Every structure is written in C-alpha cells, then in structure tokens.
Structure 1
Amino acid sequence: MHSKIILENIKIYAFHGVLPEETILGTNYIINAELHADLEKASQSDDLSDTINYAEINDIIHQEMSIPSRLLEHVIGRIISKLEIAFPQLSFIKIKLTKTRPPMRGEMQGVSIEMEKQIS
C-alpha cells in the first residue's frame, strides 16, 4: 500500500540567513513535509505503534528549525537526516521550506527551497 503523511503549512519563527540582521531579527517560515511509508498495518490495527506518529515528525521539524543556519538547504538537510534516522520505514521524504520575508527587493509571498530524498 502506498501511503503519505503530509504536514502542511507549519508556521515557525526562526533565525536563518546569511545577513547578520536575519539571525538577530528572525522571520516567519512555512514548512511542508511529505513522507511516504507503507501504513497498511495501521489501517487494519488502529494502533499507533503500527504507523508513524506525525506529532514526532512535527517535533523534529521544530527542533531543527530552532538551530540557526546560514542556508535553508542546510536546515532541510538536517530535517531529512533526522527523519530518516527516526523513522527507518520511510521510503521518501520531501521538505519545502519558505522564508516569508526574504531581504530582497520586490513584493513577494516568500522564497522557497524544496528538497526530496528517495530512500531505498
């Protein structure tokens, strides 16, 4: 069975960026996570131990977002690594991280980096 767990539009205030003011002032970030795993057993058992606890996914994302990084790619890489270790049953991870107020000219809703990993 092909199953997905999707956490949508998690809003976190954090302090990532190359410019000094980004690490001092911070800004809001939006994170979307998509994880694939076979959850058929949970669909039959109704037992939390047969699935992936999405509250734990959320905790990992919040923990990694609290560690300042210069690059969003680095933040995503850490999140993917932690999720892969915590949940060996995952077959795919996709993380999209959006900085809502990047220090650039022009009006925009944000700038995003999206990374995905197929796990064998």
Structure 2
Amino acid sequence: MGIIKVENIRVFAHHGCLKEETKIGSDYRVDLEVKANLKTSAVTDKLSDTVDYVLLNKIVKEEMLQPSKLLETVAQRILDRIFKEDSLVKKASVSVSKLNPPIGGDVESVTIKMTKRRKN
C-alpha cells in the first residue's frame, strides 16, 4: 500500500449559505490523500498501473466549480468521483478549506475533512 497526496490545490469558487458568498465567491484550498497499491507501478513504471494525480486534480477542480451551500457536500462529491473513476483507490481523504471566511472575526480559514473507504 502507498499514499499519493495532492496538496494545496487553490480554487476560486462560489460555495456558502449566504447569498453574498455564492454571488461574490471565495478562495479555497483543497488537500487530497489517497491510499492505493503502488507496488505494481513501482515495478512497471506505467501510469496505467497507478493513481493518476492529474485526474485527482481535475476531479477536485471540476467539483469545486459546482456551487454548494456546504463544504461537506463538495467534499463528498469529490470522494464519490474518485472512487467511481479510479478503481485502484482503496481509501481517500479530502480537506476543503474556505480562506478568510465571512464569520465575523479574523479567521484565516475554516476546514472540513472527510474520508471514504472502498467497500470490498
């Protein structure tokens, strides 16, 4: 088993419960970690034998573009697509952070983290 991380994916998106948040948009950071068997790809040196981090980045960016009220909804969509589109992934964790959230204080970010495991 091995781990692939795609960290600090920066996206501008329109998520939030407030009308202003979905209209104006905000900056977000997404961090992704997937577990998969990397032994085969370490030997074959073939992209088809591993988890393609270009695909992971693409999934994150596409799902972040779809507005949602809650970050939890976005994170779940990202996880669902990863498991749907890459059968090598056994476990994945995604953190979605809203930078400078409008919550009435000097707060750098709010973050939610969700994890999903493949059921065999």
Whole-angstrom distance in 2 between the partners of 1:59 and 1:11:
12
**TM-score, structure 2 as length reference:** 0.96
What is the root-mean-square deviation in Å for CA atoms of aligned residues? 0.7
The equivalent residue for 1:68 is: 67
Alignment of 1:1-120 (within 5 A): 2-120=1-119
Are 2:50 and 2:88, in contact at CA under 8 Å, matched by a contact in 1?
no
Provide the rounded CA distance (Å) in 2 between the counterparts of 1:47 and 1:83: 20
SS at match of 1:91: strand
Following the alignment from structure 2 to structure 1, what is the Cα–Cα distance between the partners of residues 38 and 116?
19
Runs of 4 or more, structure 1, over 6 Å off, are: none
- Tell me how far 1:103 sits from its aligned partner: 1.1
Q: Which runs of 5+ in 2 are unaligned?
A: none
User: Percent identity, aligned pairs only?
Assistant: 35
**Structure 2 residue matching 1:107: 3-state secondary structure:** coil
CA deviation profile, 1:46-77 (whole Å, cap 9, x unmatched): 11111111001100110000000001000001
Q: Is the 8 A contact 2:101 2:108 kept in 1?
A: no
Aligned length: 119
